[in-house]
């Protein structure tokens, strides 16, 4: 969310940013919110004047009564009563205007970084760099669920009867591999200096609207019936929410946390990924990383975060690339974002396995995450990135580590989490 003062003083910058994100329908909001802000400030000025007058007149009443000037005192009382009625109107108007302003300000997109490429949607994202050599073996690679089934490792039919489409049972070595990857990712991030955390898996509505746009909320979040609670779509929501309405001394920054959680997503409106198997699912587990830092440090942390994911995947013998998200593919709160995509030998192309985002002070402004410095208080910057999110990550792992005889090799870094196994073999 932008600062209303910034919008008031830079309307053309805000409008051009909206155009760059191809959201022209939001353009009228800029002038509307500026006009509402003008009305709000005018109402506040009048209300403040009436409050000052009330204090002055109240003293006059006491003085007049002390002097025996009852009629004059009554006249002043009448003026106080009239002012009180007007003040009540102004306070109600202020509340109404502020509510409208807040709703609009939470809809106007954040200012994107100048380095972000301009494009309408994810088809115009820009490849940045490749890590590792993508290879296609000289044997056929089955679909990922077929690989899993060869190990008796997945049951989609039973899950469909129990919970419907978008759910799964993982079993045996595949389930163990799933847990091993999560545990390895946890220790990988701890070794890089991040503090491990297991957060609440449900959050209140004020946290939801603090960490994402209304459009994202509608497309992703599951609401708990009869409660002011939502199931988290990623632990970033809980982790950023941890700092709601806090003031952190500047010398205690940055806050670097890595968190485990299950994630629950409607996947409403999702597109561009295969429908079958475990590509698009309503429940999965994830290791996440978040940073709360000083504004001038957020570009540095952005680069460090996505490099963590690249390094983890490369340690598992999986080729990856980074993809810069264009303006039209950025969620409204994001300043800058890139996807990490893993190589799929079966499809002979890359697919998304993680996303790194710098949100500037957008989440901090909504959630009142402030920093106390010698020069005064200011809003922190927040960033997040996927460490690893199986089972989609398992697709890349299985395809890139599959052997001609149907076995799957286990990279050295993962072997301690698999009981020392160097491979898993078909049943």
- The answer to whether the 4-105 and 122-424 domains have the same CATH topology is no
- Fold for 4-105, please state it: Helix Hairpins (1.10.287)
CATH tag, 122-424:
3.30.930.10
Distance CA 102, CA 84 (A): 27
Closest CA relative to residue 216, chosen from 335, 383, 331, 330: 331
Q: What is the pLDDT of residue 56?
A: 74
Neighbours of 343 (CB within 10 A): 26
Q: From the CA atom positions of the chain, what is the Rg in Å?
A: 28
Closest CA relative to residue 111, chosen from 199, 223, 264, 1: 1
**Model confidence pLDDT, tens digit, residues 342-390:** 999 999 999 999 999 999 999 999 999 999 999 999 999 999 999 999 8
**Residue 178 pLDDT > 70:** yes
Q: How confident is the model at residue 393 (pLDDT cuts 50, 70, 90)?
A: very high
DSSP-derived 3-state class of residue 232: coil
Neighbours of 101 (CB within 10 A): 19
Neighbours of 263 (CB within 10 A): 21
**Residue 71 pLDDT > 80:** no
**Model confidence pLDDT, tens digit, residues 270-316:** 544 455 678 888 999 999 999 999 999 999 999 999 999 999 999 99
> Tokens standing for 261?
């959680």
List helix spans (H) across 292-422: 298-315, 362-367, 392-401
Cis peptide before 27 (omega within 30 of 0): no
Distance CA 360, CA 112 (A): 9
Give me the percent of the chain exceeding a pLDDT of 90. 81
Distance CA 336, CA 325 (A): 7
Distance CA 42, CA 47 (A): 9
List helix spans (H) across 285-347: 298-315
Mean pLDDT throughout 394-414? 97
Q: What is the pLDDT of residue 83?
A: 78
Could you tell me the residue ranges of all domains in the chain?
Answer: 4-105, 122-424
Q: Please give the model's pTM, rounded to 2 decimal places.
A: 0.89
């Amino acid at each position: 969310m932008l600062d209303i003062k910034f919008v008031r003083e830079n309307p053309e910058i805000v409008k051009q940013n909206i155009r760059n994100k191809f959201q022209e329908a939001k353009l009228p909001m800029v002038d509307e919110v500026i006009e509402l802000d003008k009305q709000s400030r005018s109402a506040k000025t009048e209300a403040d004047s009436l409050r000052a007058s009330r204090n002055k007149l109240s003293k006059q009443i006491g003085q007049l009564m002390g002097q025996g000037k009852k009629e004059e005192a009554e006249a002043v009382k009448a003026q106080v009563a009239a002012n009180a009625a007007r003040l009540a109107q102004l306070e109600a108007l202020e509340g109404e205007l502020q509510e409208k302003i807040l709703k609009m300000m939470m809809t106007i997109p954040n200012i994107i970084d100048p380095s972000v490429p301009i494009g309408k949607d994810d088809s115009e994202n820009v490849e940045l760099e490749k890590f590792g050599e993508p290879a296609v073996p000289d044997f056929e690679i089955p679909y990922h669920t077929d690989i899993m089934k060869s190990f008796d490792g997945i049951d989609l039919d039973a899950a469909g009867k129990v919970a419907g489409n978008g759910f799964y049972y993982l079993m045996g070595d595949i389930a163990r591999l799933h847990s091993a990857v999560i545990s390895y990712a946890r220790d990988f991030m701890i070794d890089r200096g991040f503090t491990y955390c297991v957060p609440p898996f449900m959050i209140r509505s004020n946290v939801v609207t603090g960490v994402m746009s209304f459009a994202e909320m509608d497309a992703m979040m599951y609401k708990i019936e009869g409660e002011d609670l939502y199931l988290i779509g990623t632990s970033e929501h809980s982790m950023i929410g941890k700092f709601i309405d806090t003031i952190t001394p500047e010398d205690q920054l940055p806050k670097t946390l890595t968190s485990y959680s299950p994630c629950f997503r409607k996947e409403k409106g999702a597109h561009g990924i295969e429908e079958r198997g475990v590509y698009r699912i309503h429940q999965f587990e994830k290791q996440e990383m978040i940073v709360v830092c000083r504004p001038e440090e957020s570009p540095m942390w952005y680069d460090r975060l996505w490099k963590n994911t690249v390094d983890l995947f490369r340690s598992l013998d999986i080729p990856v690339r980074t993809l810069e998200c264009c303006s039209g593919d950025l969620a409204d709160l994001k300043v800058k974002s890139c996807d990490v995509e893993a190589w799929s030998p079966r499809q002979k192309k890359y697919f998304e396995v993680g996303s790194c985002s710098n949100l500037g002070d957008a989440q901090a402004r909504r959630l009142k995450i402030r920093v106390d410095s010698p020069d005064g208080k200011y809003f922190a910057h927040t960033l997040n990135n996927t460490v690893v999110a199986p089972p989609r990550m398992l697709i890349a792992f299985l395809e890139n580590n599959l052997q001609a005889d149907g076995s799957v090799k286990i990279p050295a870094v993962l072997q301690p989490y698999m009981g020392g196994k160097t491979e898993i073999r078909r049943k």
